[in-house]
Structure 1
């Protein structure tokens, strides 16, 4: 048996095109750790260019490109293979390329053997941090191997569709969580399923019952501003965009203006013996009301002002008390108008203003 084949047997490398010479083993300090490094070569004449598919007669050798690839440890030593891959130049399309090998995936520095070792350890009851220490890789690498290798069993006879709508509702007292979780098809408006618990681990377990390929087909997830739904979408639906539904956006803007009003109202609590404070507090519903729904004509007696005023006149008096309240009110009404007229560009311009009140930001 040749020296090169012996090294390949030790490292469990099956690629016939990888060659090791004598004196290929050295000890180096890599990332502060003394490690064993095997120097090898990958050299094979390709049949054609992978870019333009021209025959090998138009391909010339173009030096080497080296990469340091981590493999399973040997005798408790962190072990690497410094693999020099032959680089080629296609004279027709002028592109360069290197050979692929089953030993390591393209653009990876972790060998497939080490990935298999991590995948095997993932089947046992131990944490990802413990596995990362045993395999001498990062916790992120362990997680990537889990995503790449793990395919959950398909539990459901139906498939997920392109548009999903999430929401919660109060169902029955016997459910574990305070709210139940409902899933609706965004295109047909048909009910898909109801879960008794809206908490993130329960929802995540449910959707893990669908294959990754099925979850990748989901393009949009429509939900409210509940943070776990946004986290869930990013984690389980890699190709999906989060769409915040109109109802909850309007609700958020309304509550934001209410917070601003209360903050300003409390600042004016001791001004004019609290008269301004009491007036703003008393007519809070008028400030929340859409400007287009105000009564401009009919006047009513308002004891706080000791005169007859229409809703519009009353509003104007309230806004004269504070410039910040006026600015917040104007932005609030403009956002409402953007929703009412379905003016997307106006809405985007408003929420992207640098001077936008912090309370309005999502």
Structure 2
């Protein structure tokens, strides 16, 4: 039959559709080992066959399993049983190496559940391949600890994760599993060259301030301008609502509908009408002035 597999030392001998997946029957045609891998003696004699099933890349939109029959050999000297393997197979994951690469290419662009269903592997196996790949990628990159560090959070799967940003390079530096005080403390304790950090920009999350104070004592803290403006706007609008509750109906409508956004809009974005409204506020509402 035509060699659908194109796997080194693996020869397909049959194929069938098996409950929604494609099953390919094959045999390992590797040459017998010349000597025992344990004691180095030879010759080895035949010792039955072993049948193993490996996952492979999908065909026709269906998961693929390859059932491979491999002849085993036994050492006459020490009794060690030797089973020839193929360079195309990953025995740790019980999958072909090209399937492992297939998962690596897609693991950061889709969910583990979807990928596991697509290739017919257990969810934990897909997670394991991804974790090994992520660790490999991290070994290839040596990030320089930033001089200006931004510390914020991002919600992933409903949980807040601490996000570290190199503000000079405008690039991501790291994402942590959590933003708790204990987790941040452990991270900064082990951070390489942390004394390079001169400034840290944070929001008003108290654990950030506490951790930086103990782990980065030489760094100066700056509150992110966005959060300062957000809190100031919140207080300003709260005061407007308080005054509004004490006004007549017409004044209350004016203060809410015509003046609210003029009051909150960024100074650089105010229109002529906004400037007139601001002047009206200054003249008529001394607390807001």
TM-score, structure 2 as length reference: 0.48
Which protein has the bigger strand share? 2
Return the structure number with greater relative CO, CA threshold 8 A, min gap 6: 2
